[in-house]
Amino acid sequence: MNAKQTAQHSRIAVVTGAGSGIGRSVAVELLRAGWSVALAGRRTQTLEGTAALAPEGTGGASIAVRTDVSRPDDVAALFAATVDRFGRVDLLFNNAGTFGPGGVPVEELPYDAWRHVVDTNLNGAFLCAQAAYRQMKEQDPQGGRIINNGSISAHTPRPHSVAYTATKHALTGLTKSLSLDGRPYGIAVGQIDIGNAATDMTARMETGALQANGEVAPEPVMDVADVARTVRHMAELPLAANVQFATVLATAMPYVGRG
């Protein structure tokens, strides 16, 4: 099956940060639903591990593309590989991100650490969205969808999280701007803000996380599969409909009333 034939039989997604956590869960959910998925991440081995989790015979194909989203050349190569293999891009799940060094007071945060978080969470999200936008604008049929992975931290911070929180607030502005600018071309852009999905990155939540009052307390988590199903719902809406912002969180986590 050539690229054009593939595009006619399966919707095409790019998932960044697809080697673990939320990105892995979303990629597998899409593959199970028959999407073809370009798996992007820094480690090819973990991307191949994600691909292996999808059951055979679902109709979705995948490619693993080693990508550092903070590098423009890597992002350009990712989208070129996706279009070469599948013919188009219908969805970008803009998921790659990093917390940076945890628990570091703002006055002690090294500039290099700040820059790494900004380069990954904000600059990387912009570069991927820009590449997706260019492709979606030019392809036939025109259009597609971008879903940015925000965070509860796009609404309110945790202690000692200045870099992560700043980038996630900025991501909300990116989402709004892209959503407005994409209207003439059938490009729908939304954001999912996630709180305490159970992944390796959030394992410490169950043992104890620093609260705004200075206490350390365990926090509830939720199944990451619930996040993946929400992203799939957003992704499979017709382009005439859009979930602009969705918040999915462990019901009893300290968010409403945090602080």
Residue 32 structure tokens: 């199970």
Q: What is the pLDDT of residues 116-174, one digit of tens each?
A: 999 999 999 999 999 999 999 999 999 999 999 999 999 988 888 899 999 999 999 99
**Other Cβ atoms within 10 Å of 39 Cβ, number:** 30
DSSP state of 146: E
Residue 240 structure tokens: 């005439």
Higher-confidence residue of 81 and 156: namely 81
Report pTM: 0.91
Task: Tell me which of 111, 133, 164, 255 is the catalytic residue.
Answer: 164
Is 133 a residue of the active site? no
Measured CA to CA, the distance from residue 132 to residue 17 in angstroms comes to 16
Q: Residues 204-223, buried b or exposed e (16+ Cβ, 10 A)? A: ebeeebbeeeeeeeebebbe
